[in-house]
């Protein structure tokens, strides 16, 4: 080996490195997430990838909707003729924090083995932990590609404040998708909001994309342990239970009693979701919350909600549902306080079963096309 040879190797390596980065910016392979080993080498996941402790949960959070759907069992094959497809969107309660996939609302409905309109009901869990209607709208818009026959949309008031729509990292990191939704449905969000993470040219290079590419790769690798163990979440032996002794503060996202300002809530984003669904029936569910009996429970229901704000929001929902003919189930107090786990909206399998029972009754009342 001569020094000239070594110099050439170095220079060529450097040029190739720069060239590959440049090509990566130019071709901008946004659809890379659609390439997935799930549903081919590995079985599809029963819920979206999400996890803060990958080494324990064999799962991780990423912001690539293509990759999330590609890893989900809903993308396994085109919808069979005999399937009545139900998708359940929503927050961490739908996704099933501390629940195994079969213990969630979607899981229990799936296990019920329902038949509807002469077809077998298949239920897909498309919930994603973080509370934001904009996030739900994003997921629903994508989910429509999979031709659902029914959409179940459990929600809670915390998803409505406009000031918290972009706090969900998956929303903030999908500025282009949200921008399209803002324009298309005239959403009351500012596309120039600093919470959005905009992609610079540097971020589009191979180096700039290294973290998201590594996440995509790791998601595929964790397919091995997902397949081997069926585990997609870590289940701590012990956890901190939802708060029942509450603060005396009655403000809600800066709003003060006695009147809840409707203009500060994202009803229009929910309505955009209903427009996205089009003719596909949507079952809106006000999901059960923990009703505390502890300190200051006369002022607040739980960690999230002062009573005055929550009561008024429920009234608004009820009024709108009646006026606009929505199929709406208000199940806010269906589940007793002892059936909640680490949050005022996360339930035990027993709590989920109660919810499932009520949702199931409503599903079976659906009229066939």
| Chain residues in the site for another protein (CB under 8 A) | 1-3, 5-6, 9, 54-56, 58, 217-218, 221-222, 224-225, 227-231
The DSSP bridge pattern shows strands 119-127 and 83-90 to be parallel
The CA-atom distances, in angstroms, between 84 and each of 144, 344, 355 are 14, 32, 20
Q: Nearer Cβ to another protein, position 143 or 216?
A: 216
The Cα 216–Cα 34 span in angstroms is 10
**Ordered DSSP codes for 340-363:** B-SSTT-B-HHHHHHHHHHHHHHH
Considering the complex, what minimum distance in angstroms separates the CB of residue 86 from another protein? 27
Q: Nearer Cβ to another protein, position 218 or 307?
A: 218
The Cα 109–Cα 204 span in angstroms is 42
Q: Nearer Cβ to another protein, position 14 or 224?
A: 224
The Cα 86–Cα 139 span in angstroms is 14
The Cα 234–Cα 341 span in angstroms is 15
Q: Nearer Cβ to another protein, position 229 or 367?
A: 229
- At 347, list the tokens: 């339930």
The CA-atom distances, in angstroms, between 221 and each of 48, 65, 212, 217, 294 are 15, 18, 14, 6, 45
Contact 20, 194 (CB under 8 A): no
Q: Nearer Cβ to another protein, position 80 or 230?
A: 230
Considering the complex, what minimum distance in angstroms separates the CB of residue 65 from another protein? 23
Q: Nearer Cβ to another protein, position 90 or 107?
A: 107
The Cα 140–Cα 127 span in angstroms is 10
Considering the complex, what minimum distance in angstroms separates the CB of residue 223 from another protein? 9
């Amino acid at each position: 080996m001569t020094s000239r040879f070594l110099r050439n190797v170095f220079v060529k390596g450097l040029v190739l490195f720069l060239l590959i980065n440049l090509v990566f910016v130019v071709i901008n392979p946004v659809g890379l997430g659609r390439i997935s080993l799930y549903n081919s080498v590995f079985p599809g996941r029963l819920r979206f990838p999400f996890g803060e402790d990958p080494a324990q949960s064999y799962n991780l959070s990423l912001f690539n909707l293509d990759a999330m759907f590609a890893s989900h069992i809903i993308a396994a094959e085109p919808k069979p003729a005999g399937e009545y497809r139900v998708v359940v969107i929503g927050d961490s309660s739908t996704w099933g924090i501390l629940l195994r996939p079969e213990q969630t609302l979607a899981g229990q409905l799936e296990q019920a083995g329902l038949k509807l309109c002469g077809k077998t009901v298949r239920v897909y869990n498309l919930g994603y932990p973080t509370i934001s209607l904009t996030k739900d709208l994003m997921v629903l818009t994508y989910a429509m590609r999979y031709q659902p026959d029914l959409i179940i949309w459990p929600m809670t008031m915390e998803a409505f404040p406009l000031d918290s729509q972009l706090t969900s990292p998956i929303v903030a990191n999908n500025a282009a998708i949200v921008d399209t939704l803002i324009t298309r449905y005239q959403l009351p969000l500012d596309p120039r909001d600093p919470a959005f993470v905009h992609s610079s040219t540097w971020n589009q290079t191979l180096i700039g994309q290294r973290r998201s590419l590594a996440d995509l790769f790791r998601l595929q690798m964790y397919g091995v342990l997902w397949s081997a163990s069926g585990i997609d979440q870590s289940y701590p032996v012990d956890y901190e239970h939802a708060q029942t002794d509450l603060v005396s503060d009655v403000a809600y996202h800066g709003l003060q009693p006695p009147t809840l300002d409707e203009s500060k809530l994202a009803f229009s984003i929910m309505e955009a979701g209903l427009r996205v669904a089009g003719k596909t029936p949507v079952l809106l569910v006000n999901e059960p919350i923990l009703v505390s009996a502890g300190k200051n429970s006369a002022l607040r229901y739980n960690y999230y909600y002062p009573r005055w704000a929550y009561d008024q929001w429920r009234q608004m929902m009820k009024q709108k549902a009646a006026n606009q003919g929505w199929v709406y189930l208000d199940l806010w107090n269906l589940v007793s306080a002892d059936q909640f786990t680490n949050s005022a909206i996360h339930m035990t399998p027993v709590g989920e079963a109660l919810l499932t029972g009520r949702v199931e009754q409503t599903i079976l009342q659906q009229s066939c096309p």
